[in-house]
């Protein structure tokens, strides 16, 4: 058994706060217009519901795997346990290869969204000023995370409260001047062929907004009673955010024509200003900016643990396996992802993030469902504090949903994601040759994460 120095201090409440803060962030405040535009009207509400169903099906996969194998690193651990007997370290390597870019670049979208809302106060911000603010914001988040997990837990709960206030505030503003005729002004062909054509694009947006329900799975070594805490934090956060997203979406649709909403760049500011005036909009915009920082905060918190676990297993550079000498957190991984996040704020990430999401579906979402099925059959006696409800129905729903999302992505993102994974295979072969690992040496099984825990 390897010596670990993490502090188990996160329970169900703070774990749910971590997940919900990462799930929300600035996401709905910038994607509601995209969802309405993609689906062509108020029927965008269906997109949030379908997105929640896919998130719940996938969340139940995470819940069983995470409760049985509560190691730091999440998917990395699950893929290692399921596939190491046939393909060695290939699958966990490809996962790390993708996540080292996907996690910080997705965090960059939070920073970019924050800067967009900041322009409510400073509409004349130039190119250099915009990116300087992005760098400073990334540095602030990294500094807040550079401490013991107990302090991080308290900061996360505080940011979670601010997130809820911002969501409730925008929804309240919408409902205070709610017009049902606007909210349910469905176009004549709302549920015709256009609906099914737009659902794929809408589901991509919906899934993006729900991502984050798995954040506690990446910090399993820091959870109190992970077999109890992890599944509950995942399930509760998905159900809570579905209700929140639906209320927020309906309230926004009741303030302005859906055509205007589809064109808006800062929908939350628009709704509050139209309902309560400029001063109220300024206050709410400030809270949204803080919420955006909160999502980056929790994303880097969980993401920094991924390369740490890989380095401990000698699947990545050994420097990433170091813990801070005093406070016991993976400082090298945290600083590296902070730097990549800052670099990402300089680019237009729309198509790049789309590419990284499609790559993630292949090496994480689909692979993880297969991992659960493999482990159920190969190791039926593993200790599973939580067993997936209605197995294998959630697995089937998750597989079908992720395939649908993948094929709904743009052709360019499919090609780029495929090229990235192919490059990862090439790098793995070079790494395996240098380190005398499979396929250039016999398979070496890693000790079971379950028995190790």
Domain with 136 in it: what CATH number?
1.20.1740.10
Is 82 a member of any domain?
yes
Is 413 a member of any domain?
yes
* Residue written as token pair 């709704």: 271
pLDDT tens digit sequence for 355-386: 778 889 989 999 999 999 999 999 999 899 99
Whole-prediction pTM:
0.84
Asked whether the predicted pLDDT for residue 3 surpasses 50, the reply is no
Write the CA distances from 43 to 47, 92, 183, 245, 293, integer angstroms.
8, 39, 10, 14, 30
Which residue would you say has higher pLDDT here, 344 or 179? 179
Record the tokens describing residue 431, joined without a space. Answer: 């790494």
Range of the domain at 189: 12-452
Is 3 a member of any domain?
no
Asked whether the predicted pLDDT for residue 399 surpasses 90, the reply is yes
pLDDT band at residue 315 under the 50/70/90 scheme: confident
Is 2 a member of any domain?
no
Asked whether the predicted pLDDT for residue 62 surpasses 90, the reply is yes
Q: What angle do CA 157, 158, 162 make, to 5 degrees?
A: 115
Is 1 a member of any domain?
no
Is 7 a member of any domain?
no
Q: For the chain, what is the domain count?
A: 1
**Minimum mean pLDDT range among 72-86, 184-198, 407-421, 434-448:** 434-448
Record the tokens describing residue 352, joined without a space. Answer: 């790049």
Strand partners, 219: 72
Is 5 a member of any domain?
no
Asked whether the predicted pLDDT for residue 267 surpasses 60, the reply is yes
The pLDDT, as a whole number, for residue 353 is: 64
The pLDDT, as a whole number, for residue 321 is: 82
Is 41 a member of any domain?
yes
The CA distance from 155 to 298, in Å, is 10
- Of 165, 171, 199, 182, nearest to 50 by C-alpha is 199
pLDDT tens digit sequence for 150-193: 556 666 677 778 878 888 899 999 999 999 999 999 998 888 87
The pLDDT, as a whole number, for residue 113 is: 86
At 202 the three-state DSSP class reads helix
SS3 string, 203-219, reads HHHHHHHHCCCCHHHHE
């Amino acid at each position: 058994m390897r010596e670990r120095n993490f502090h188990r201090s996160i329970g169900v409440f703070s774990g749910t706060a971590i997940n919900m803060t990462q799930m929300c962030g600035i996401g709905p405040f910038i994607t509601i217009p995209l969802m309405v535009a993609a689906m062509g009207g108020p029927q965008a509400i269906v997109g949030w519901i379908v997105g929640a169903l896919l998130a719940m099906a996938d969340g139940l996969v995470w819940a069983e795997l995470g409760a049985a194998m509560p190691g730091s690193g999440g998917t990395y651990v699950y893929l290692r346990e399921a596939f190491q007997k046939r393909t060695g370290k290939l699958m966990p390597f490809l996962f790390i290869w993708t996540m080292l870019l996907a996690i910080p670049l997705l965090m960059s979208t939070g920073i970019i969204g924050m800067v967009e809302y900041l322009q409510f106060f400073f509409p004349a911000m130039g190119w250099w000023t915009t990116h300087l603010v992005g760098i400073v914001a990334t540095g602030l988040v990294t500094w807040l995370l550079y401490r013991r997990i107990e302090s991080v837990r308290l900061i996360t709960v505080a940011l979670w409260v601010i997130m809820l206030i911002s969501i409730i505030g925008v929804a309240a503003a919408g409902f205070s001047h709610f017009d049902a005729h606007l909210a349910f002004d469905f176009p004549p062909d709302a549920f015709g062929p256009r609906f099914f054509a737009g659902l794929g694009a809408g589901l991509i947006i919906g899934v993006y907004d729900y991502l984050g329900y798995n954040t506690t799975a990446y910090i399993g070594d820091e959870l109190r009673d992970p077999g109890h805490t992890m599944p509950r934090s995942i399930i509760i956060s998905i159900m809570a955010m579905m209700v929140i997203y639906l209320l927020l979406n309906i309230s926004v649709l009741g303030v302005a024509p859906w055509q205007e909403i589809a064109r808006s760049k800062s929908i939350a500011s628009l709704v509050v200003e139209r309902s309560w005036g400029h001063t109220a909009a300024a206050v709410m915009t400030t809270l949204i900016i803080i919420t955006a920082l909160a999502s980056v905060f929790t994303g880097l918190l969980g993401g920094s643990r991924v390369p740490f676990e890989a380095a401990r297993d000698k699947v990545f550079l050994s420097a990433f396996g170091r813990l801070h000498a005093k406070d016991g957190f993976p400082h090298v991984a945290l600083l590296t992802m902070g730097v990549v996040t800052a670099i990402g704020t300089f680019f237009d990430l729309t198509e790049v993030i789309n590419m990284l999401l499609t790559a993630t579906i292949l090496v994480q979402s689909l692979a993880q469902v297969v991992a659960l099925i493999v482990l159920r059959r190969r190791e039926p006696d593993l200790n599973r504090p939580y067993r997936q409800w209605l197995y294998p129905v959630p697995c089937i729903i998750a597989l079908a949903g992720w395939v649908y999302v993948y094929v709904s992505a743009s052709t360019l993102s499919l090609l780029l994601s495929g090229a990235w994974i192919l490059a990862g295979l090439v790098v793995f072969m070079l790494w395996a040759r240098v380190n005398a690992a499979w396929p250039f040496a016999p398979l070496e099984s890693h000790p079971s994460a379950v028995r190790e825990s």
